[in-house]
Structure 1
Amino acid sequence: MTDTDSNKKFANHGVPWEADFGYNQAVQVKDTIYLSGQLSHDSDGTFIAPAKLDKDGRPVDYSQMEQQIRQSYVNAIKLLAEFGATLDDVVEEALFVLDMPAGFVAAAKVRKEMYKTSVPGCASSIVGVSTLAQPVQLVEITFRAVIDRHES
């Protein structure tokens, strides 16, 4: 984690596209943590359950959606931990999916699994999009968490 004079704290995974695009995976300002869109990669930047692509570089099916969502949550959990936070601190998330029917079914299952409850305690949106930054990605998830650091 990086601390700056601007009262912001930053965290990254150390994957190549952070430097290529020039962004941070997470930033904390006061009691709020903002996570950039999380993808389904491991700690080396290798994509987990990459979509199979056709000759034009478009996904041929969406069967890897569930695995990609699960790994995206795993990556979010790692980032949140850098700030002493967990999924319990998440107040809002947005899932961007290439296929709404497949994304909805997979997200409904994995969200409940990752939050360990049938109704996660956060606002959630799922949005169908036509493309994502990495062709093998079927989903990207952003998060906002609030950590209460006030002593009573």
Structure 2
Amino acid sequence: MATIDAFNHNVPAESEFGYSQAIKSGDLIHVSGQLSLDAAGDFLHADDFVAQLKQTHANIDKVLHHYGVTRNHIVSQTLYVVNLQQNAGAMAEGNVAYFGDHRPVSTAFGVTELTFPGQVIEISTVVDTKLPA
């Protein structure tokens, strides 16, 4: 029988919207859409795609660290991007910098808006804890 282990950043949005940042079920970790929030849950870097992408990746890393895994355990990512065509180059560059030689499957959606005014990127991931690091 699989056990479920939920993780939260302990920011107000988790209780306001009723969700967890991640849930580990068996060998898989499903990570909610991460975005450019600081430790207090305040949104950072409005309309700055590169800065938001870096902060979003840092927040994914916090989740991974909690579960004792690395970026190399990410098997899938879904990116939601405002102005996808305009931000495609920076998205690709940021992905290569973040993942190095690791290549998870990836899907990007162009969207008209996200939760916060000025938010231009959100990323959800699936992580397999059994992959070699």
- Give the TM-score taking structure 2 as reference length: 0.92
Instruction: Give unmatched runs, 5+ long, in structure 1.
Output: 1-5, 52-63
Instruction: Give unmatched runs, 5+ long, in structure 2.
Output: none
Deviation at 1:84, TM superposition (A): 0.9
Equivalent residues, number: 131
**1:65·1:102 contact (CA, 8 Å) conserved in 2?**
no
The structure with the greater share of residues assigned to helix is 2
Greater C-alpha Rg: 1
**2:80·2:110 contact (CA, 8 Å) conserved in 1?**
yes
1:54-133 mapped onto 2 (5 Å cutoff) = 64-117=48-101, 120-133=102-115
Partners of 1:69 and 1:103 in 2: CA distance: 11
Partners of 1:136 and 1:79 in 2: CA distance: 24
Deviation at 1:121, TM superposition (A): 1.8
Q: 3-state SS of the aligned residue for 1:18?
A: helix
Extract structure 1 runs of 4+ deviating beyond 6 A.
none
Deviation at 1:115, TM superposition (A): 1.3
List per-residue Cα deviations over 1:97-134 (Å, max 9, x = no partner): 111123311111111111123xx320011110112122
List per-residue Cα deviations over 1:20-58 (Å, max 9, x = no partner): 00000000000000000001011112222112xxxxxxx
Identical pairs, percent: 31
Partners of 1:65 and 1:98 in 2: CA distance: 9
Query: In angstroms, what is the RMSD of aligned CA positions?
Result: 1.6
1:19-34 mapped onto 2 (5 Å cutoff) = 19-34=15-30
Residue in 1 aligned with 2:126?
A: 144
